[in-house]
């Protein structure tokens, strides 16, 4: 009789497993096909939840991936999972297998509902304990707390006692292969409870929420694993807090009390803190992946409160408390400290004492701790390497001249030295002796007796042509920091004499003369200011000033020399190591002068005898080549 029944049970079990496996394989085949049609099923998501409704869990998956999901509101399933870099398709397959869900596809919309044709079986092996390693696995879903505690005590052998008033509470949670003491603490925390271990090894489970003065208060309890805080009341008010890692705090809160947030998060992270003065105010936050220090900076920003980490204990209080003031020396690596103060915003350094240490290229900061950290971070942010630009300059100054001098000059006076230059130009001067000697030679022919000229008579004959070409090159190299000016100045200095006369006395005045030599400069002045942009482009602001002495005109002997000035400014943008040319500073000078006897100097042919002329034409051109190079 028993054998047919046993055989039927085994056969039913095998058929059930085969049907479930076939259903899983069929859904996986459908899912693989839908992945091609809906590429967003391949999106990877990171989501961590604890005891939340499956509708909220899938809403988070849909928001992170962009997949359209419709969930039957009648589903009564709570989910506790921690998925990292998991495909949406894999999550759907997991939910299908875990909860026997019916998942259908309508276009790119995914519908999820319960499968009424499958019976729900109660879970077995909800508590698994290894006596050798003291590791326990617990899996409860909306279980009565009395039944759960009895089962845990029976399987593990640890005595667990419930505090009064907890008989009606139900618990849920999944813990795998964790030391028992840690596991019971985490299970209690997940359900808004506290687990305390007595000296005899017994665990007492009690509520973390205490009633006092008609208001619900959060109780923080210290024990060997840190602080645990009940956040269920916060969740009910719309506040969401996740502190899975100390460097990745996630908070969503609207008009939450600052003190409550600090106590909750410090309690969950097991951080020691001390509130030195009454902390008032509310704040709204929506941040993720921040540290505890960053959290405090957000909460206390713009208020009269600050904090300081003193030997692992965070002290929070007013800025007027001396113990919360901090001191810091910040050394600059790439900038000079003397150029720092005018950069710091006034609002940032308000109520902060700042002193410069030029010898160490450092700055001393004193004030509230959070303000000190803010100023320090800003200084480190702007303390970046400044590019150094090498500027190569080639200055080419070319001068060309052409002069013609012709004519005959005769006169009485001191006889100049006799010159007999014929080539390459004629510059022939004869004294009275040379002229008389020439006349005497003509007298021998018996023509006309010309007589002799006086001793102080002379004649000069000139027919000269001069061509000049002068090229001056200079190749200076300058280096400057980004945004700073580089200056090149090349010039000539001349001096003139300035005399002063002053009378002293009234009845018998005496005259005193004094003189002073003063200078006049004629320079080529080039100023270049380079600014490097992010794409290795260099913007050059160039100013060129040129002045020359005017030798063709003068106010008289001892007067200052005249000057000619030229100036231009330009702003251009070129690539690194490109060359630009600046030209156009050109000067043309034409001189046509002559003297002679009136009327006779204008008659053709005769004008060559009775006049002398000088014609000159000169051109001066300045070209400047500039090549900037970023060298550091």
CATH topology of domain 234-314: Phage tail protein beta-alpha-beta fold (3.55.50)
pLDDT above 80 (res 330):
yes
Q: DSSP 3-state assignment of 270?
A: coil
In CATH, the number for domain 127-206 is 3.55.50.30
Residue 86 pLDDT > 50, yes or no? Answer: yes
Give the torsion sign (CA, 594, 598, 602, 603): negative
pLDDT tops 50 at residue 449? yes
Half-sphere exposure of 301 (CA within 13 A, CB side): 14
Specify the domain boundaries for CATH 3.55.50.30 within the chain.
27-114, 127-206
- HSE value, Cβ hemisphere, 13 Å, CA-based, for 135: 6
Residues of the chain with CATH 3.30.1370.120: 325-382
CA 7 to chain centre: 77
Residue 375 pLDDT > 50, yes or no?
A: yes
Percent of the chain as helix, strand, coil, to the nearest 5? 25, 50, 25
Identify the CATH number of the domain defined by range 27-114.
3.55.50.30
Indicate the range of 30-39, 289-298, 471-480 predicted with least confidence.
471-480
- CA 406, CA 409: separation in Å to the nearest integer? 10
Q: Are strands 203-207 and 160-162 parallel, antiparallel or unpaired?
A: parallel
From residue 427, alpha-carbon distances to 413, 417, 433, 437, 497 in Å are 19, 12, 18, 20, 36
Q: Distance between CA 138 and CA 161 in Å, rounded?
A: 18
Say whether domain 325-382 belongs to CATH 1.10.3720.10.
no
**Distances 543 to 107, 193, 523, 580 between C-alpha atoms, Å:** 69, 77, 13, 14
What is the reported pLDDT for 506? Answer: 73
Q: What is the pLDDT of residue 367?
A: 83
Write the burial class of residue 338 (CB in 10 Å: 0-12 exposed, 13-18 middle, 19+ buried). exposed
User: For 586, what's the count of Cα atoms within 13 Å in the CB-facing half-sphere?
Assistant: 7
Rounded to the nearest integer, the mean pLDDT of the chain is 76
Q: Of the given ranges (94-108, 223-237, 615-629), which has the lowest mean pLDDT?
A: 223-237
529: pLDDT confidence band, cut at 50, 70 and 90? very high
Nearest to 217 by CA among 229, 235, 226, 205: 229
Confirm if 582 and 544 have CB atoms less than 8 A apart.
yes
Mean pLDDT along residues 357-381:
84
pLDDT confidence tier of residue 430, bands split at 50, 70 and 90 = low
* DSSP state for residue 614 in the 8-state scheme: E
Which structure tokens are listed for 619?
């051109």
Task: Collect all residues with Cβ–Cβ distance below 8 Å to 279 and sequence separation of at least 6.
Answer: 258, 259, 262, 305, 316, 317
What does the chain come to in residues? 632
Burial class of residue 58 (count of CB atoms within 10 Å of its CB; 0-12, 13-18, 19+): buried
Is the CB of residue 573 less than 8 Å from the CB of residue 587? no
CA dihedral 475, 480, 486, 490 (to 10 degrees): -30
Residue whose pair of structure tokens reads 């300059």 in the numeric block: 393
CA distance 283 to 268: 19
Q: Is 191 helix (H, G, I), strand (E, B) or coil?
A: coil
- DSSP-assigned beta bridge partners for residue 480: 389
Q: How confident is the model at residue 15 (pLDDT cuts 50, 70, 90)?
A: very low
What would the pLDDT profile of 555-572 be if each residue is shown by its tens digit? 666 677 777 787 878 888
DSSP-based three-state secondary structure for 519? strand
Rounded (5°) CA angle 385-390-395: 160
CB 630 within 8 A of CB 596: no
Average of per-residue pLDDT across 372-392: 86
Is a pLDDT exceeding 80 seen at residue 492?
yes
Contact 79, 99 (CB under 8 A): no
What's the CA gap between 40 and 110, in Å, rounded? 12
- pLDDT score of 145: 87
* Between residues 17 and 342, the one the model is more confident about: 342
Do strands 457-474 and 160-162 pair parallel, antiparallel, or not at all (unpaired)? Answer: unpaired
464 SS3 class = strand
72-76, 94-98, 494-498: least confident range: 72-76
Mean local confidence (pLDDT), 102-125: 66
Torsions phi, psi of 304, nearest 5?
-90, 20
What pLDDT score was predicted for residue 357? 82
Print the SS3 string covering 570-585: EEEEEECCCCEEEEEE
pTM of the predicted structure, to 2 decimals = 0.43
Burial of 288 (0-12, 13-18, 19+ CB in 10 A): exposed
Give the model's confidence band at 530: pLDDT under 50 very low, under 70 low, under 90 confident, else very high.
very high
Q: pLDDT value at position 452?
A: 66
Q: Does pLDDT of 447 surpass 60?
A: no
3-state secondary structure of 414: coil
Q: Residue for token digits 């008009």?
A: 255
Residue 156 pLDDT > 70, yes or no? yes
**Average pLDDT over every residue of 49-56:** 75
Better-predicted residue by pLDDT, 169 or 184: 184
């Amino acid at each position: 009789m028993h054998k047919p029944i046993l055989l039927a049970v085994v056969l039913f079990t095998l058929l059930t497993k085969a049907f479930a496996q076939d259903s899983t394989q069929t859904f996986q085949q459908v899912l693989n096909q839908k992945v091609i049609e809906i590429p967003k099923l391949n999106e990877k998501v990171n989501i961590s939840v604890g005891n939340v409704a499956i509708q909220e869990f899938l809403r988070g998956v849909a928001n992170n991936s962009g997949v359209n999901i419709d969930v039957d509101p009648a589903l009564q399933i709570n989910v506790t999972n921690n998925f990292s870099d998991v495909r949406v398709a894999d999550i759907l397959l997991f939910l299908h297998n875990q909860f026997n869900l019916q998942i259908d596809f309508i276009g790119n919309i995914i519908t999820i509902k319960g499968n009424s044709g499958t019976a729900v079986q109660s879970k077995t092996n909800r508590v698994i304990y290894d006596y050798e390693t003291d590791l326990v696995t617990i899996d409860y879903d909306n279980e009565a707390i009395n039944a759960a505690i009895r089962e845990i005590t029976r399987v593990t052998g640890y005595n667990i006692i419930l505090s009064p008033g907890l008989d009606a509470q139900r618990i849920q949670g999944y813990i795998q292969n964790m030391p028992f003491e840690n596991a019971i603490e985490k299970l209690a925390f997940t359900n808004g409870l506290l687990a305390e271990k007595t000296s005899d090894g017994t665990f007492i489970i009690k509520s973390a929420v205490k009633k006092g003065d008609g208001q619900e208060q959060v109780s923080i309890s210290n024990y060997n694993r840190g602080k645990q805080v009940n956040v269920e009341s916060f969740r009910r008010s719309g506040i969401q807090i996740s502190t899975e890692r100390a460097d990745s705090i996630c908070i969503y809160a609207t008009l939450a009390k600052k003190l409550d947030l600090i106590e909750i998060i410090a309690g969950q992270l097991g951080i020691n803190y001390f509130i030195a003065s009454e902390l008032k105010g509310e704040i709204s936050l929506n941040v993720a992946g921040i540290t505890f220090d960053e959290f405090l900076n957000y909460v206390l920003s713009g208020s009269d409160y600050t904090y300081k980490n003193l030997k692992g204990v965070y002290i929070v209080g007013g800025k007027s408390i001396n113990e919360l003031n901090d001191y810091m020396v910040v050394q600059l690596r790439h900038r000079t400290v003397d150029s720092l103060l005018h950069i710091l915003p006034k609002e940032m350094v308000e109520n902060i004492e700042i002193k410069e240490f030029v010898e160490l290229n450092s700055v001393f900061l004193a004030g509230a701790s959070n303000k000190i950290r803010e100023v320090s971070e800003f200084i480190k942010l702007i303390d970046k390497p400044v590019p150094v630009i090498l500027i190569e300059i080639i200055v080419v100054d070319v001068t060309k001249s052409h002069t013609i001098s012709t004519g005959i000059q005769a006169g009485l006076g001191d006889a100049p030295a006799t010159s007999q230059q014929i080539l390459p130009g004629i510059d022939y001067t004869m004294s009275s002796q040379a002229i008389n000697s020439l006349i005497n030679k003509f007298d021998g022919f018996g023509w006309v007796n010309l007589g002799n000229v006086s001793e102080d008579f002379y004649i000069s004959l000139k027919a000269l042509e001069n061509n000049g070409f002068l090229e001056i090159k200079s190749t200076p190299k300058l280096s400057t920091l980004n945004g700073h000016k580089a200056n090149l100045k090349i010039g000539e200095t001349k001096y003139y004499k300035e005399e002063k006369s002053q009378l002293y006395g009234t009845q018998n005045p005496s005259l005193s003369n004094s003189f002073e030599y003063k200078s006049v400069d004629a320079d080529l002045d080039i100023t270049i200011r380079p600014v490097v942009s992010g794409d290795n482009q260099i913007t050059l602001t160039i100013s060129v000033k040129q002045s020359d002495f005017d030798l063709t005109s003068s106010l008289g002997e001892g007067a200052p020399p005249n000057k000619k000035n030229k100036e231009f400014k330009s702003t251009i943008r070129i690539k690194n190591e490109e060359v630009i040319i600046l030209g156009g500073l050109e000067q043309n000078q034409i001189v046509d002068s002559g003297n002679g006897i009136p009327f006779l100097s204008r008659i053709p042919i005769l004008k060559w005898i009775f006049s002398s002329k000088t014609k000159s034409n000169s051109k001066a051109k300045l070209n400047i080549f500039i090549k900037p190079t970023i060298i550091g």
